[in-house]
Chains A and B, each alone.
Chain A
């Protein structure tokens, strides 16, 4: 053994020479004391099983509580969505709980909406103001003039309030600003929307095709777990994305497509599979209709046809099509999630659904599977709910969006501008969604807000939307409250509990309490007969024959596993009226839309402009987590991705743009956002730029997030509405890049 001088000196001070480098107990401080193993002491003195609300996936977690503080959050191994593992946001929930910027007391507005000037008041004063505001609108315009925007599991109490109040106008941006087109596309093709969690069997797929989905950066825990599991078992990825996403980095085939041309690629893939008879003919013969029409429709949509449209070489289109077909039926075309891109999104989702059918993957292992749901009786409320004559006001007077399966949040916003819808909305209740960033066109949203008689928001943080509210009610975080039972449809049916780990901090209150008190202030107490959420949930659990104490200890109940696919004995389920997979949609034809998906070119941007694309970072859930200082450590702000070649010679720049330079993004209508750091990278096409959504917050009271990064929402001044279901396509904006300042 050769020794350096330092080693020699160190050994000289220790009792036994050679042992120093290898083992702990012998390495001593001048031989006096043994080195202790540092224990940070973060294990809780008790542990509470609940489920996460940092995003909307709802993973089961265990909250460690020590001396009244939550020290850490870990995955609940019994919960089917976390399986003991968490994403960074789930693990970072203490950053929300102990966020110094949290709403601490009820607030009442003192100046113009949007100026964000408030006075702290008592709960009683705030609730009186809410009661007066809502009752005033009811007296003048009827109960339907009140709308609820809600996102998150605590919203159930406010949805119940709306049933009691008598308004059908309850919407979430998660439909028409996110999943909606996909839901419509699969509904039209298979008779059922997909919902969340998506009923897909990623773990057993052998080829996984992602169309603009950036799973891995989009961090839906169980899906990412399954993606890694599949990749670990040798599954291959085909990734279609203008950006070299994390998934693209693992892909066998990356197709860096020109944005907005996905339908052309999908049609060309179908062309190859049909022409070369690589589709599942037997499956289609028994389960589908419209194959001949589809064949005729795509006969001329060859890879050579798609090449100039998509920028993808014909041989790559052909090869990837063959590769995708080679693994059928365990060849999963992932349905995506945030699908509101170009206003023709339902048709793109249809094309993906049709492709999945050609692969015979609907109802098959490694494809789309049937979930099960654990039934739990509702808490019975003796008083019948009122039912007024008015329908939902989420569509224009002239009608439209015939396939919308959920309420269109942007439509509710439009209905708040007088004369737009069948009747006007006059008051908003906003639960946990920052409509300023969630809805397209900030200007329209603010105009709608300024037209309202009354606005109340319920939130954990002083989000931008709070600044436009008349009353702001501080909600406790998910770690400080009980909520209703979660029982989503899933491959493994289950129930999960939301349970208070620590009491609410400051003067915040749980959603169930706020809704119950709001009801009391408008004379609707009879609809809220439970003492608290715990009594409500326990009653539901007992009615379902569950051992309440046991469920509370574990936080989750597993249902009997159900067969989910043909391989497990479940025949292929198709829920359309025809009971067949509708490759050609007669329903769309009747409504005057294309019965088979067509490619239509998207408008191009002005010269010197780049198409603005957006996505997710695994550490953040839109703007909801951007003020979380713990999550900000690995991801402190968003950056605008700019192609390296383009960055060398940007119009208006006398020098090459470098990573870390601050720039302004200015869109085609002059809207600006920034300054934001540039990320100069080979990982994106030259005709687009990319931002992670949720940054560029204008709310001053979010002291960390305020002004950090750029807001894509600010730059979405235009959008294209999907005429089929009302989704707002937001990838139709273009930005130019202006230099802000230069960092060495």
Chain B
């Protein structure tokens, strides 16, 4: 059966330590200043009545990826399991995808192509978890195949309240935030 890779980010567990950010940078040998994932702290209220949500964010690997639609060369494409990927050899660095992405998930690599999260597909193909998932000390990140009803991510999304970022953008993200 066709796979649909997805991630659940547990905002209750996440402390925003950035271990996901650093492990992504070393796993994927990212350049200085390049990030495929990042931490967002969203604070609401006024002292002392406050609440805060902490999210580890990355490309949402949308089912309706506006970045892929925007790409004039076909470099941005949908790869195995619905992973939104960039073929470096086809990318001209025009940044149309960056403008089209509602989530700011992409950056221009100094080598001239656009770079972004791949869900560590090179690891996933070898049966491993994405680097951020493996290192996360709070086990906030759950990755897997949503088409498999027994996968931890599918079970988690059935049992917990979750939401996606900016659903109004219509991109149908596959990264879900548990709260």
Residues of A in contact with B (beta carbons under 8 Å apart): 4, 6-7, 10, 13-14, 20-25, 27-30, 35-42, 71-75, 84-88, 90-92, 94, 216-217, 219, 221, 224-225, 227-229, 231-232, 244, 246-250, 254, 256, 618-619, 629-631, 633-635, 643-645, 681-686
Q: For chain B residues 120-143, which have a beta carbon within 8 Å of chain A?
A: 121-122, 125, 131, 134-140
Q: How far is the CA of A681 from the CA of B73 in the complex (A)?
A: 44
Give the residue of B46, B80, B85, B135 whose beta carbon is less than 8 angstroms from that of A91. B135
A86 engages B23 (CB within 8 Å): yes
Q: For chain B residues 68-83, which have a beta carbon within 8 Å of chain A?
A: 68-71, 73-74, 77-80, 82-83
B78 engages A21 (CB within 8 Å): yes
Which B residues are in CB contact (< 8 Å) with A71?
Answer: 26, 29
B88 engages A38 (CB within 8 Å): yes
B12 engages A27 (CB within 8 Å): no
User: Nearest Cβ in chain B — how far from A406, in angstroms?
Assistant: 29
B23 engages A630 (CB within 8 Å): no
Known: A22-B78, A24-B79, A74-B134. 5 other contacts (CB 8 A): A22-B82, A35-B85, A229-B139, A254-B50, A630-B26
Q: Which residue of A lies closest to B4 (CB)?
A: A22
Which B residues are in CB contact (< 8 Å) with A683?
Answer: 43, 47, 50, 52
Digitize B9-23: 1 where CB-to-A-CB distance is under 8 Å, 0 elsewhere.
010111111110111
A87 engages B19 (CB within 8 Å): yes
Q: Which residue of B lies closest to A90 (CB)?
A: B19
Q: For chain B residues 22-62, which have a beta carbon within 8 Å of chain A?
A: 22-23, 25-29, 32-33, 35, 38-39, 43, 45-48, 50-54
Q: Which residue of A lies closest to B14 (CB)?
A: A228
Which A residues are in CB contact (< 8 Å) with B80?
Answer: 23-25, 37
Q: How far is the CA of A246 from the CA of B10 in the complex (A)?
A: 14
Q: How far is the CA of A87 from the CA of B17 in the complex (A)?
A: 7
A228 engages B137 (CB within 8 Å): yes
B21 engages A86 (CB within 8 Å): no
Given contacts A23-B80, A36-B87, A40-B28, A633 and B21 within 8 Å (CB-CB): yes
A35 engages B47 (CB within 8 Å): no
User: Nearest Cβ in chain A — how far from B173, in angstroms?
Assistant: 15
B171: interface (CB < 8 Å): no
B158: interface (CB < 8 Å): no
Which B residues are in CB contact (< 8 Å) with A631?
Answer: 22
Q: How far is the CA of A529 from the CA of B51 in the complex (A)?
A: 60
Given contacts A21-B68, A244-B50, A250-B12, A86 and B45 within 8 Å (CB-CB): no
Give the residue of B10, B22, B137 whose beta carbon is less than 8 angstroms from that of A225. B137
Q: How far is the CA of A20 from the CA of B131 in the complex (A)?
A: 28
Q: How far is the CA of A59 from the CA of B26 in the complex (A)?
A: 18
Q: How far is the CA of A86 from the CA of B71 in the complex (A)?
A: 36
Q: Which residue of A lies closest to B47 (CB)?
A: A682
Which A residues are in CB contact (< 8 Å) with B140?
Answer: 228
Which B residues are in CB contact (< 8 Å) with A72?
Answer: 23, 26-27
Which B residues are in CB contact (< 8 Å) with A247?
Answer: 15
B13 engages A24 (CB within 8 Å): no
Which B residues are in CB contact (< 8 Å) with A227?
Answer: 15, 138
* Interface residues contributed by chain B, number (CB under 8 Å): 63
Q: How far is the CA of A74 from the CA of B24 in the complex (A)?
A: 11
A224 engages B137 (CB within 8 Å): yes
Q: Which residue of B lies closest to A75 (CB)?
A: B135
Q: How far is the CA of A37 from the CA of B81 in the complex (A)?
A: 12
A selection of 23 A-B contacts at a CB cut-off of 8 Å is A4-B69, A10-B68, A27-B77, A29-B73, A29-B74, A36-B87, A40-B29, A85-B19, A85-B137, A86-B137, A216-B17, A225-B138, A228-B140, A232-B139, A246-B15, A618-B15, A619-B22, A633-B25, A682-B46, A682-B50, A683-B47, A683-B50, A683-B52
User: Nearest Cβ in chain A — how far from B101, in angstroms?
Assistant: 14
A231 engages B13 (CB within 8 Å): yes
Q: How far is the CA of A71 from the CA of B19 in the complex (A)?
A: 16
Which A residues are in CB contact (< 8 Å) with B155?
Answer: none
B174: interface (CB < 8 Å): no
Give me the 8 closest cross-chain CB pairs, A-B, nearest first. A228-B138, A249-B52, A216-B15, A618-B17, A24-B79, A72-B26, A39-B122, A228-B13
Given contacts A86-B19, A629-B32, A683-B50, A35 and B77 within 8 Å (CB-CB): yes
A643 engages B135 (CB within 8 Å): no
B33 engages A633 (CB within 8 Å): yes
B29 engages A27 (CB within 8 Å): no
Which B residues are in CB contact (< 8 Å) with A630?
Answer: 22, 25-26
B48 engages A254 (CB within 8 Å): yes
Give the residue of B54, B79, B131 whose beta carbon is less than 8 angstroms from that of A249. B54
Q: How far is the CA of A630 from the CA of B23 in the complex (A)?
A: 10
Q: How far is the CA of A633 from the CA of B37 in the complex (A)?
A: 12
Give the residue of A42, A224, A644 whose beta carbon is less than 8 angstroms from that of B17. A224
Given contacts A6-B69, A35-B77, A225-B137, A645 and B27 within 8 Å (CB-CB): no
A13 engages B122 (CB within 8 Å): no
B2: interface (CB < 8 Å): yes
Q: How far is the CA of A39 from the CA of B85 in the complex (A)?
A: 12
**Which of A13, A38, A248, A681 has its CB near the most chain B CB atoms (within 10 A)?**
A38
B78 engages A20 (CB within 8 Å): yes
Which B residues are in CB contact (< 8 Å) with A30?
Answer: 74
**Which of B54, B74, B131 has its CB near the most chain A CB atoms (within 10 A)?**
B74
User: Nearest Cβ in chain B — how far from A206, in angstroms?
Assistant: 16
B48 engages A246 (CB within 8 Å): no
User: Nearest Cβ in chain B — how far from A607, in angstroms?
Assistant: 21
Q: How far is the CA of A532 from the CA of B140 in the complex (A)?
A: 42
A42 engages B26 (CB within 8 Å): yes
Q: How far is the CA of A20 from the CA of B74 in the complex (A)?
A: 10
B47 engages A685 (CB within 8 Å): yes
B79 engages A37 (CB within 8 Å): yes
Which B residues are in CB contact (< 8 Å) with A84?
Answer: 134
Q: Which residue of A lies closest to B3 (CB)?
A: A23
Q: Which residue of A lies closest to B10 (CB)?
A: A232
Given contacts A24-B78, A72-B27, A221-B137, A37 and B15 within 8 Å (CB-CB): no
Q: How far is the CA of A75 from the CA of B129 in the complex (A)?
A: 13
Q: How far is the CA of A22 from the CA of B53 in the complex (A)?
A: 32
Q: Which residue of B lies closest to A41 (CB)?
A: B29
Q: How far is the CA of A217 from the CA of B15 in the complex (A)?
A: 7
Which B residues are in CB contact (< 8 Å) with A4?
Answer: 69
**Which of A24, A28, A634, A635 has its CB near the most chain B CB atoms (within 10 A)?**
A634
